[in-house]
Amino acid sequence: MELADFERLLGVWSKPVKNEVEKGAIRKFADAIGDPNPLYHDEERAAQSRFGRLVAPPTFSRTFDYGVIPGLEMPTEGLIHGEMFYTYYKPILAGDVLYASFALTDAKERAGKLGRMILLVFTYKVENEAGELVQEAKSTVIYRPEGGGAQ
Amino acid sequence: MTAKRYQPGDHLTPLIKPPVSKIQLVKYSGASGDFNPIHTVEEFAKEAGLGGVIAHGMLTMGFVAQMLTDEVGEAGELLSFGVRFVDMVRPGDIITCDGVVQEVKEEEGYQVVTCDVWAQKSPGDVRVVQGTATFRKPLA
């Protein structure tokens, strides 16, 4: 896809996808990071906390399914994750039923020293069953149409 | 017990992680659903010109998140957290996470703390992620 193709998709949201937060998924995610925080692992301990249930780590929403933006074909190579920014409104807890969606919210082209780059900003939204915003994330992805590394 | 009062210039409690391992990259791929082979398949990463597998940027961000949630504690809340991915992390790298308080405000019984946060391969070495975070903690 070229810049004009991305620009046509600006502001088009995916249909929200239902995601159920599983305690096993929280534990596995915290284990992979090597974070022993008992609120992620120990149900009894979490039950005694103000949360009442296992808590998801701050970057856990990375595991959610955000659906599909019709017409968006992301390349699988030549992508670099440039930036990630989360705004948190409510904690994510085991057993939560959440709705996740995303949109392309900015696209621009730059000439870098390693060639042409397309900078894409995706906005990710997570809402609860009451329709309240739980968290929002903005992810900047650098796409080099002529190829290059990734992160 | 009186809660710690933050001042601009204070360091957060740094977190030194065990060396990143290839097994960890496989575990993080599975746990996160990011199966890009540059993180797990040596030959693929070499062909992509990376010289070998590299860690997911989001894994390093997860390390910084761990430092933050340790700092914020159970009574506090992380309000925002963002990073720029600056440099690659490879198996064997020992990542140190750190942060410095930039601003402290008091609001309704809470202190709201904004800080610079980062991860580096060793203290004083090049930063691999660089960002900001805001959290709040009860004053008492």
Q: How many CA atoms lie within 13 A of A20 on its CB side?
A: 4
Asked if residue B4 has pLDDT above 90, the reply is: no
Asked if residue B64 has pLDDT above 70, the reply is: yes
Terminal Cα distance for chain A, rounded: 20
Question: Nearest CA of chain A to the CA of B43: how many Å?
Answer: 14
- The C-alpha atoms of residue B65 and residue B44 are separated, in whole angstroms, by 29
Tell me how far CA of residue B22 lies from CA of A34, A70, B39, B78, B97, in angstroms: 13, 35, 8, 30, 20
- Say yes or no for a CB contact (<8 Å) between B81 and A58: yes
pLDDT tens per residue across span B76-115: 999 999 999 999 999 999 999 999 999 999 999 999 999 9
Question: Nearest CA of chain A to the CA of B110: how many Å?
Answer: 16
- The C-alpha atoms of residue B99 and residue B120 are separated, in whole angstroms, by 11
CB nearest to B27's CB, from A25, A32, A87: A32
Tell me how far CA of residue A101 lies from CA of A66, A140, B38, B58, B104, in angstroms: 4, 16, 26, 19, 33
Closest residue, chain B, to A76 (C-alpha)? B36
How much is the pLDDT for B32? 96
- Say yes or no for a CB contact (<8 Å) between B31 and A28: yes
pLDDT tens per residue across span A59-103: 999 999 999 999 999 887 778 899 999 999 999 999 999 999 999
CB-based contact (8 Å) between B101 and chain A? Answer: no
Asked if residue B67 has pLDDT above 60, the reply is: yes
- Say yes or no for a CB contact (<8 Å) between B31 and A63: yes
Nearest one of B50, B140, B53, B129 to B97, comparing CA atoms: B129
**pTM (two decimals):** 0.95
pLDDT tens per residue across span A129-149: 999 999 999 999 998 887 654
H/E stretch holding B70: helix B57-72
- The C-alpha atoms of residue B26 and residue A76 are separated, in whole angstroms, by 19
Question: Nearest CA of chain B to the CA of A14: how many Å?
Answer: 19
- pLDDT confidence bin for A151, thresholds 50/70/90: very low
DSSP collapsed to 3 states, chain A: CCHHHHHHCCCCECCCEEEECCHHHHHHHHHHHCCCCHHHHCHHHHHHCCCCCCECCCCHHHHCCCCCCCCCCCCCCCEEEEEEEEEECCCCECCCEEEEEEEEEEEEEEEECCEEEEEEEEEEEEEECCCCEEEEEEEEEEECCCCCCCC
Residues 33-92 of B with CB under 8 A from A: 33-34, 36, 38, 48-50, 54, 56-59, 61-63, 65-66, 68-70, 74-75, 77-85, 88
